[in-house]
Structures are given as C-alpha cells and as structure tokens.
Amino acid sequence: MLRLFVGLELSETVKSEIGLISSGLPNARWVRRENLHLTLHFIGDVDEGVAEDIDAALAEIVSPPFDLKLDGIGCFETRNKVRAVWAGVAPEPELSQLYSKVEQALIHAGLEPTRRKFKPHVTLVRLKNVRAEAVVDYLEFHAGLSLPPFAADHFTLFRSHLGHAGVAYEVIARYPLQVP
C-alpha cells in the first residue's frame, strides 16, 4: 500500500524563513525543513493500481501558475489542547481553483470526495498534550507573520513513509502549472 497526498512544495527562501521561527514551544515536534509543504488533498493508503489511476488523473489537470504568500499564524485545538501550529495562506483564487481541480481528478480516479472544508496552511509544529495557554505567547509574538511570496509553478504527488525516525516524504510525481 502507498500512503499518498497531493501538495505544493515551498520555496527554499520560505523554508529558511520558517526555520527562523521554529523554536520556543514546549513538547514540540517541529516539522523538518524537507517536509514543509501545503497539503491540497490527503489521499491515504491505496494500492499501486489506484496510485497509477491517481497519477494519470492528476497529469490531466490544466491550471495556471500563481504566487502564494504565507500570512498569519494559528493553531488546531481540541478541548483546550493544541495539536498543531500552522502558518496561514493569504487568499488566492488560483489556489482554490487548483484545489477543486485536484478534488475532481481524484474523484475521477475513483476516490471519495473530501468532506473537510479546505483550509490552506503549512503545519509548522505538532504538539501532544499541550494546553492552549502554553502557545499563546508564541502565537502573539508571531501574529504578524508575513513571508515573501513564492511561485507555485507545479503541484506534487507525495508518498508518506512512517518510521521510527518520524515521517519522510517522497516525491512520486510533479505536475507543471501552465497557462491553458
């Protein structure tokens, strides 16, 4: 089985900027630089035949390149426990259109539609059993986060490998964004 997701890779400049704010939280598992990305769709475990169908469907997508800008910071919280801190994404119509095209391609490949609302973000850190109060200072200090825009000129099909040393992502395919 292959554990797959579709995402956008970040520029090296943006990864470097994120590295500058990757400290200062208790019990934190910071996302490794090479794993920073923006998820468009989490697919999950599929067999190789379905993975081939997904690849073929994604290769048919025609969508223009666009610029993305990470802007703002927030967290995912459940019952006063923070699970992750993330960098937000400035609104970008082309990103929403790409998300919809990827969703339709995955449905065409035989997958079920996503039930979650698309909330574009880049996960910076994962936390376990950390009370919301423990991240307030970090969130307030970085509230004005605004990173340089970067070009989204392709999207990527990733494979996720879970191991003792953490998660590693492998690029399965890159799909160029180009003006139709």
Beta partners for residue 76, in sequence order: 84
- Alpha-carbon distance of 40 to 98, in angstroms, equals 8
The pLDDT assigned to 116 comes to 87
- Alpha-carbon distance of 105 to 59, in angstroms, equals 9
Give pLDDT tens digits for 6-39.
999 999 999 999 999 999 998 899 999 999 999 9
Give pLDDT tens digits for 73-96.
999 999 999 999 999 999 999 999
CB neighbours (10 Å) of residue 38? 20
Classify 108 as helix, strand or coil: helix
Q: How far apart are the first and last CA of the chain?
A: 34
Do the bridges between strand 2-9 and strand 70-78 make them parallel or antiparallel, or are there none, so unpaired?
Answer: unpaired
Kindly list the distances between the CA atom of residue 28 and the CA atoms of 32, 36, 102, 140, in Å, as whole numbers in the listed order: 12, 15, 32, 17
Q: Domain spans of the chain?
A: 2-176
Domain 2-176 is found in CATH 3.90.1140.10: yes
Q: Percentage helix, strand, coil, to 5, in the chain?
A: 25, 45, 30
Give pLDDT tens digits for 37-68.
999 999 999 999 999 999 999 999 999 999 99
- Alpha-carbon distance of 121 to 95, in angstroms, equals 12
The pLDDT assigned to 115 comes to 87
